[in-house]
């Protein structure tokens, strides 16, 4: 039996949200359950409910009450394992970079190719499956973080905490290194 994944669509454009829900519910490769919230405070309430868990949130930026950026920060602070995908008509390159820095999994500009959004949802679910698999008490997510932390610390020490050299050594971007350091609570050594 395939696991069921929860997706929450947060958008004040009810027609667009319903279309997205219909498109996702016809997905055959993954078993998903889709809910819709039309405002940010309702979304936070849905996410906080103990009897429901969302794996992916599709989030608009311009909404009544809290902005999508504020909702993204609150989600990532309280539920860091939820993958948030931004879909907004108010997106430029600067906003996209900032949203990714704040923890968004991806960001798309409306109108967007929903097939591409579905691909990112599948990637997010693949990430979830890979990092939450448990074998005989071994939590692979914890192991992944532990190994990542050891590799980053070793590389930082070898490069005298020079972040550019460390990112080159690890063959990742500087942005990715910064994100991993934040995720793993690695603070830059003070000299």
What are the tens digits of pLDDT across the range 62-71?
887 888 888 8
Domain 4-132 bears CATH identifier 3.20.20.10 = no
Q: Map out the domains of the chain as residue ranges.
A: 4-132, 135-183
Q: The domain 135-183 is classified under which CATH number: 1.10.10, 1.10.287, 3.40.50, 3.60.70?
A: 1.10.10
Q: Which residues of 127-141 are buried (b: 16+ CB within 10 A; e: fewer)?
A: ebeeeeeeeeeeeee
Q: What pLDDT, in 10s, does the model give residues 32-62?
A: 889 998 888 888 888 887 556 889 999 998 8
Lowest mean pLDDT among 17-26, 47-56, 128-137: 128-137
């Amino acid at each position: 039996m395939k696991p069921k994944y929860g997706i929450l669509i947060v958008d004040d454009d009810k027609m667009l949200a319903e279309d997205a829900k219909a498109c996702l519910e016809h997905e055959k490769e993954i078993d998903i359950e889709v809910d819709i919230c039309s405002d940010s405070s309702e979304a936070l309430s849905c996410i906080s409910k103990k009897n429901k868990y969302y794996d992916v949130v599709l989030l608009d930026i311009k909404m009544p009450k809290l902005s999508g950026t504020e909702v993204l920060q609150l989600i990532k602070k309280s539920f860091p394992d939820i993958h948030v995908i931004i879909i907004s008509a108010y997106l430029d390159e600067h906003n996209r970079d900032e949203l990714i820095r704040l923890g968004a999994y991806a960001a798309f500009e409306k109108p967007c190719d929903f097939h591409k959004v579905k691909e990112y949802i599948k990637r997010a679910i693949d990430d979830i499956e890979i990092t939450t698999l448990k074998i005989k008490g071994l939590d692979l997510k914890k192991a992944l973080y532990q190994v990542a932390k050891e590799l980053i610390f070793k590389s930082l020490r070898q490069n005298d905490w020079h972040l550019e050299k460390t990112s080159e050594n690890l063959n990742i971007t500087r942005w990715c290194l910064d994100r991993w350091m934040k995720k793993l609570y690695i603070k830059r050594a003070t000299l």
